[in-house]
Amino acid sequence: MHSDGLEQTRVLAEEYANRAIAAIDGFPESEAKEGLVEMAVKTLKRRK
């Protein structure tokens, strides 16, 4: 019932991660660009 503090934090983190990915959308496709996208995705999944 009190889970909304953590849930809202997670939602906001996800929003920022998505904005990070969107920011470099215009970069030419490359492995490095994929690496940057992966960093943003991994940020949300990390456990430490």
Q: Dihedral of the CA atoms 8, 14, 20, 26 (nearest 10)?
A: -130
Minimum CB–partner distance for residue 44 and another protein (Å): 6
* Integer angstrom CA distances of residue 13 from 17, 24, 29, 45: 6, 18, 25, 11
Contacts with another protein, 6-25, as mask; x by CB under 8 A: xxxxx-xxx-xx-xxx-xx-
Minimum CB–partner distance for residue 42 and another protein (Å): 10
Q: Which residues bind another protein (CB under 8 A)?
A: 1-10, 12-14, 16-17, 19-21, 23-24, 26-28, 30-33, 35-36, 39-40, 43-44, 46-48
